[in-house]
């Protein structure tokens, strides 16, 4: 048996029961009761069933060490360690590349303890039976090196004689490991040895003075260090005489000699109690150090009974308690737990609580005397615990319980928000208690808020978080509330234009695709040049050619922002110059038509209608009219983006016949006036042609171009104002 400081429990293993000898059960003593944990050891196996194994807690390694014993293999030398609820076989050998370290030879009934002095600081093993009949005892000393999980044989100065079933434990007051008695042929050894800094010292004569005595020779006695009393205790064992006695290895300042001097001395003192003493027990299990537990003795053999014992004995400290009231202060009508936490004494305990006008009475055989109670009204109430142990030793304890209510309900601006977006948390000012109030905020992501009724916080990762607020008043009355906040990705957005390049005068459509964030969204478009829009999918016609960056700033419902930009190119509208030579001609004479395109986007296509049903799809062409008359020839210029420009030229075609010849003496008067009229008409026609190159006549509309002419629709769009 050993006190496992890591697991805060006493661990018991193996031994003989009335129905199995040996067995391999593992028991744990926790908070006042035993529990068989054999079937709850996780994935690990248990050590083999053994009796008379050696076991102790290794402080350096933080594990319980079990060695040897007698089982199916008798004796054995397996080494097991126990920690965190499971066993592990570390029998070795341990090899480090230079040498291998082997376990001690097989044995049972060996002495083991942790040498807790600064010079040694390891688990040590001494002696034991080296064969199944114990015809040979050991006198060797071994150390368990925890960091290497290996045994090393020591060669200390001096050593006790070979023996088995010696009692050994570390004495914190003496500052050394103490070994007493043991068996060699018979169990009658009564010498006392100390081990310190790798050396054994026989203390059998040097530790005594007239106030000390020595226990009778014995083996298989139970020895442990009582941390509460600061003494090494030795109980029972088997020897020549009955050994139902209790001895303490006590240290202190004692008068020595006849000169009035005091010396710091250590020695054995008989402290056998007068009541409630176990019988002559030997081979019982006890931890080498009681630590947080009172010294405990479990099982063993006894000359007073037949077979293995199953009792548990505790060498108790004074009967007391550490009452706990939770919560205190407490809200009204809230169940309060009153726990006595009684220690020491002898169970069972009985007694009760007086809580204001409420009275409880309980008789309980455990370590807790508990009651739950809710006070119906605010106030300050006395709470008194009165308890008695089995022998009637009284323990009284009184305190005050503060009862009241504090308000404070948490609220959040946005229960769904974005990563990185600041969210506002608030609560009404504290009330119902006693000012001043304090505010303790936790946001569920490891962050804390300031001591204020309103705070803000931005979450750094996507997830669902629970924010908590605890409002406390002057007397620590509290109110705790919580709210759940769902945090999603911050908003992002992409934008697209219906075309990357357009002609002046063509409307552009813009669309956006938002993701993340919290809807609804608001939109702020900037088209370049000062124009804006708040539509989700706006349309815009640019007033001038150029390259424009279009930016959308998207804002979600919690104020998260995202921006995206697309660039568009606006080219000048399609235009051109058109000419015909000559514009006045005669039937059958060839007229040359020329169109030159400017502006627009990409390549150009052309379509001519000469006014008499003839057509052409080239930029320049020729045509001869077959009949006299006035014809309007139209041309359409289209670019790749279907931008279109149209213009007309008026052609006057005369018949091919001429007039009569005049005499050399001069023209008649009417003929002269006719020539002057023709000149005026010609000048006017030329002026009209020049103006037509820049501008169509007001109100003039071209006829429909031929189907498919110049790749344009049957009816081309009207050119923009001023482009004709």
Report residue 101 as tokens: 């370290």
Q: Which residue has the tokens 């091919």?
A: 656
Q: Which residue has the tokens 């930029």?
A: 619
Residue 67: predicted pLDDT: 97
Q: What is the distance between the alpha carbons of residues 218 and 567, in angstroms, rounded to a whole number?
A: 101
> Which CA distances in Å does 713 have to 505, 603, 614, 637?
18, 17, 18, 12
Residue 231 CA, chain-centre distance (Å), reads: 47
Q: What is the distance between the alpha carbons of residues 659 and 662, in angstroms, rounded to a whole number?
A: 9
Angle of CA points 624, 586, 588, to nearest 5°: 35
Q: What is the distance between the alpha carbons of residues 594 and 580, in angstroms, rounded to a whole number?
A: 6
User: Which DSSP letter does residue 709 get?
Assistant: G
Number of neighbouring beta carbons within 10 Å of residue 630:
10
Asked whether residue 688 carries a pLDDT value surpassing 50, the answer given is no
User: What's the predicted TM-score (pTM) here?
Assistant: 0.50
Maximum mean pLDDT: which of 274-283, 434-443, 508-517: 508-517
Residue 42: predicted pLDDT: 61
Q: Which CATH architecture has domain 2-314?
A: 6 Propeller (2.120)
Beta strands 584-586 and 644-654, pairing class: parallel
**3-state SS assignment for residue 448:** strand
> Which CA distances in Å does 233 have to 31, 195, 223, 290?
23, 17, 6, 10
Q: Tell me what the pLDDT averaged over the chain comes to.
A: 84
In three state form, how does the secondary structure of 349-376 look? Answer: EEEEEEECCEECCEEECCCCCEEEECCC
> Which CA distances in Å does 13 have to 2, 40, 63?
9, 14, 14
CA-closest candidate to residue 341, choices 382, 289, 276, 397: 397
| Structure confidence at residue 334 as a pLDDT band (50, 70, 90) | confident
The CATH superfamily assigned to 492-571 is Immunoglobulins (2.60.40.10)
Q: Which residue has the tokens 């014992």?
A: 309
User: Which DSSP letter does residue 38 get?
Assistant: G
Asked whether residue 684 carries a pLDDT value surpassing 60, the answer given is no
Residue 444: predicted pLDDT: 95
Residue 434: predicted pLDDT: 77
- Burial class of 275 by CB neighbour count within 10 A (0 to 12, 13 to 18, 19+): exposed
CB 637 within 8 A of CB 618: no
Q: What is the distance between the alpha carbons of residues 567 and 545, in angstroms, rounded to a whole number?
A: 13
| Structure confidence at residue 56 as a pLDDT band (50, 70, 90) | very high
554-612 confidence digits (pLDDT tens): 999 999 999 999 999 999 989 999 999 999 999 999 999 999 999 888 889 999 999 99
Q: Which CATH architecture has domain 320-403?
A: Sandwich (2.60)
Number of neighbouring beta carbons within 10 Å of residue 641:
16
Radius of gyration of the chain from its Cα atoms, rounded to whole angstroms: 55
Report residue 367 as tokens: 């370590």
Q: What is the distance between the alpha carbons of residues 658 and 647, in angstroms, rounded to a whole number?
A: 33
CB 483 within 8 A of CB 412: yes
CB 609 within 8 A of CB 621: no
Beta strands 561-571 and 501-503, pairing class: parallel
CA-closest candidate to residue 3, choices 89, 77, 62: 62
pLDDT above 90: percentage of residues in the chain = 51
Residue span(s) of the chain under CATH 2.60.40.10 come to 320-403, 411-488, 492-571, 575-656+686-711
> What torsion do the CA atoms of 33, 34, 39, 45 make, to the nearest 10 degrees?
130
Report residue 519 as tokens: 């809807």
Q: Which CATH number does the domain 411-488 belong to among 3.40.190.100, 3.30.70.1140, 2.60.40.10, 1.20.120.1200?
A: 2.60.40.10
Report residue 48 as tokens: 């083999």
Q: Which residue has the tokens 């005669």?
A: 586
Residue span(s) of the chain under CATH 2.120.10.80 come to 2-314
- Burial class of 365 by CB neighbour count within 10 A (0 to 12, 13 to 18, 19+): exposed
pLDDT above 70: percentage of residues in the chain = 84
Q: What is the distance between the alpha carbons of residues 278 and 286, in angstroms, rounded to a whole number?
A: 14
The CATH superfamily assigned to 575-656+686-711 is Immunoglobulins (2.60.40.10)
Report how many helices (DSSP H) and strands (DSSP E) the chain contains, helices first.
Answer: 1, 62
60-97 confidence digits (pLDDT tens): 999 999 999 999 999 999 999 999 888 999 998 888 77
Residue 256 CA, chain-centre distance (Å), reads: 65
Of 253-267, 274-288, 509-523, 586-600, which gets the smallest average pLDDT? 253-267
CB 56 within 8 A of CB 112: yes
User: Which DSSP letter does residue 553 get?
Assistant: E
């Amino acid at each position: 048996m050993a006190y496992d400081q890591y697991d805060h429990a006493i661990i018991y293993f193996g031994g003989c029961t009335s129905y199995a000898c040996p067995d391999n059960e593992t028991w744990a003593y926790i908070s006042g009761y035993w529990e068989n944990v054999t079937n709850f050891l996780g994935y690990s196996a248990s050590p083999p069933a053994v009796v008379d194994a050696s076991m102790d807690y290794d402080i350096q390694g933080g594990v319980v060490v079990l060695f040897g014993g007698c089982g199916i293999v008798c004796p054995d030398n397996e080494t097991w360690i126990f920690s965190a609820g499971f066993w592990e076989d570390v029998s070795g050998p341990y090899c480090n590349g230079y040498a291998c370290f082997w376990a001690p030879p097989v044995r049972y009934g060996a002495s083991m303890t942790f040498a807790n002095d600064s010079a040694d600081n390891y688990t040590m093993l001494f002696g034991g039976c080296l064969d199944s009949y114990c015809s040979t005892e050991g006198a060797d000393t071994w150390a368990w090196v925890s960091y290497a999980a290996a045994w090393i044989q020591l060669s200390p100065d001096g050593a006790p004689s070979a023996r088995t079933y010696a009692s050994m434990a570390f004495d914190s007051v003496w500052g050394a490991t103490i070994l007493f008695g043991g068996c060699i042929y018979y169990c009658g050894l009564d010498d006392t040895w100390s081990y310190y800094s790798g050396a054994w010292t026989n203390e059998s004569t040097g530790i005594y003075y007239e106030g000390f005595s020595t226990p009778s020779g014995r083996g298989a006695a139970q020895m442990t260090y009582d941390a509460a009393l600061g003494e090494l205790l030795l109980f029972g064992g088997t020897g020549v005489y009955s050994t139902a006695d209790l001895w303490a290895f006590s240290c202190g300042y004692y008068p020595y000699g006849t000169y009035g001097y005091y010396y710091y001395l250590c020695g054995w003192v008989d402290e056998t109690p007068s009541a409630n003493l176990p019988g002559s027990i030997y081979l019982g299990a006890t931890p080498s150090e009681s630590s947080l537990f009172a010294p405990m003795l479990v099982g063993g053999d006894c000359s007073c009974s037949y077979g293995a014992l199953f009792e548990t004995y505790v060498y108790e400290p004074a009967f007391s308690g550490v009452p706990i009231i939770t919560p205190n202060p407490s809200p009204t009508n809230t169940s309060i737990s009153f726990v006595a936490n009684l220690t020491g004494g002898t169970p069972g305990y009985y007694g009760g609580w007086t809580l204001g006008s409420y009275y409880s009475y309980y008789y309980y055989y455990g370590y807790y005397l508990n009651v739950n109670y809710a006070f119906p009204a605010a106030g300050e109430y006395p709470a008194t615990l009165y308890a008695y142990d089995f022998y009637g030793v009284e323990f009284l304890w009184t305190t005050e319980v503060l009862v009241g209510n504090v308000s404070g309900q948490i609220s959040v601006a946005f229960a769904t928000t974005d990563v990185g977006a600041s969210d506002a948390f608030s609560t009404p000012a504290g009330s119902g208690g006693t000012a001043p109030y304090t505010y303790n905020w936790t946001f569920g992501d490891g962050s804390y808020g300031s001591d204020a009724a309103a705070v803000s916080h931005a979450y750094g990762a996507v997830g669902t978080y629970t924010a908590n607020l605890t409002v406390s008043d002057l007397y620590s009355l509290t109110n705790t509330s919580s709210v759940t906040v769902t945090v999603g990705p911050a908003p992002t957005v992409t934008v697209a234009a219906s075309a990357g390049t357009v002609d002046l005068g063509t409307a552009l459509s813009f669309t956006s695709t938002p993701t993340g964030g919290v809807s609804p969204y608001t939109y702020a478009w900037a088209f370049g040049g000062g124009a804006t829009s708040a539509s989700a999918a706006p349309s815009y016609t640019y007033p001038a050619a150029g390259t424009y960056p279009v930016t959308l700033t998207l804002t979600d419902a919690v104020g998260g922002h995202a921006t995206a930009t697309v660039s568009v190119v606006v080219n000048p509208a399609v235009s051109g110059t058109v000419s015909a030579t000559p514009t006045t001609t005669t039937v059958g004479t060839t007229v040359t038509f020329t169109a030159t395109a400017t502006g627009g986007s990409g390549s150009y296509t052309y379509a001519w209608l000469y006014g008499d049903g003839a057509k052409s799809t080239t930029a320049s062409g020729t045509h001869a009219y077959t009949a006299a008359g006035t014809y309007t020839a139209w041309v359409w210029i289209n670019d790749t983006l279907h931008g279109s420009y149209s213009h007309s030229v008026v052609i006057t075609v005369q018949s091919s016949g001429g007039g009569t010849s005049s005499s050399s003496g001069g023209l008649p008067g009417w003929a002269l006036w006719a020539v002057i009229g023709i000149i005026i008409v010609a000048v006017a026609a030329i002026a009209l042609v020049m103006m037509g190159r820049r501008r169509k006549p007001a109100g003039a509309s071209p006829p429909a171009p031929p189907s498919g002419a110049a790749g344009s629709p049957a009816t081309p769009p009207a050119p923009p104002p001023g482009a004709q």
